[in-house]
Amino acid sequence: MIPKAALVLVAIFSWVATAAITFTVLTYGPISNEDAGEGSVVLVAAEESAVDVIPDRLPSLGVVPVFSLTNQHGQPFGLNDLRGKVWVVDTIFTRCNAICPTLTGGMKQVQTSLKRDPRAADEVRLVSISIDGGHDTPEVLNSYARGFGADPERWLFLTGTPADVWPLVQDGLKLPVEEGKPGDAMDILHSGKMLLIDRTGVIRGYYDGLSEGGRIELLVDLSRLLDEE
């Protein structure tokens, strides 16, 4: 027989989880998979280091190193351009027909949801980093961004040489990226995670960018991060 105290704890946990999701839907509106496209198998993000969690605050999971890439407008863009902003980042490439349409569609949904928060226009940026710089020129990324209705001021698509991008993704963001093998669904294997990064360039969370639940969790934590001093 389950102790009464355990049942009470389960009830409290369920109430808190429901309240968090309800708060997100009321604040940002429901997240639909209508524009996401079809998904496929995705590599799990690299194992995250154990960290001390500050009570009532999101954990600190690593510091993004200084980087400089090129955005979809052909302009240099890097970490210094994101100082003071809360940002959400994912990794994509335009030739990907497996998880990338779903991942970018999910980011579009995040963009739509954030339009309901007046703070987001100035304080939040979305960043999609191409891991296929040999093909994904600024012109290619600009066309891809327009196809997904990306706000050019607030959703940046970045590209660079593999020598610049891959170490940033693997060592800085702690996400896997590697060449695909014959028979793989993707030419380049990469993660379907979205990362939440704070105003100082510290990673504060990893989320499943391919699922509605993961994006809801991200939006809840993003709201918490905007409230941090």
* Whole-number pLDDT of residue 177: 86
Radius of gyration of the chain (CA): 18
Q: How many domains, the chain?
A: 1
Task: Assess whether pLDDT exceeds 80 at residue 79.
Answer: yes
Of 138-152, 171-185, 202-216, which range is least confident?
171-185
Task: Assess whether pLDDT exceeds 80 at residue 178.
Answer: yes
> What is the domain range of residue 190?
4-227
State the pTM of this model: 0.76
Of 53-67, 101-115, 137-151, 192-206, which range is least confident?
53-67
**C-alpha closest to that of 123 among 204, 54, 27, 223:** 223
d(CA 197, CA 124): 10
* Residue 183 confidence class, pLDDT cut points 50, 70, 90: low
* Residue 22 confidence class, pLDDT cut points 50, 70, 90: very low
The DSSP annotation for 27-48 comes to: HH-----TTT------BPPPPP
d(CA 173, CA 151): 24
Task: Assess whether pLDDT exceeds 50 at residue 48.
Answer: no
Task: List the CATH number of the domain containing 164.
Answer: 3.40.30.10
Query: Tell me, what DSSP letter sits at residue 135?
Result: T
Mean pLDDT of 86-96: 96
Q: What share of the chain is helix, strand, coil (3-state, %, to 5)?
A: 35, 20, 40
Instruction: Report the helix count and the strand count for the chain, using DSSP H and E.
Output: 6, 9
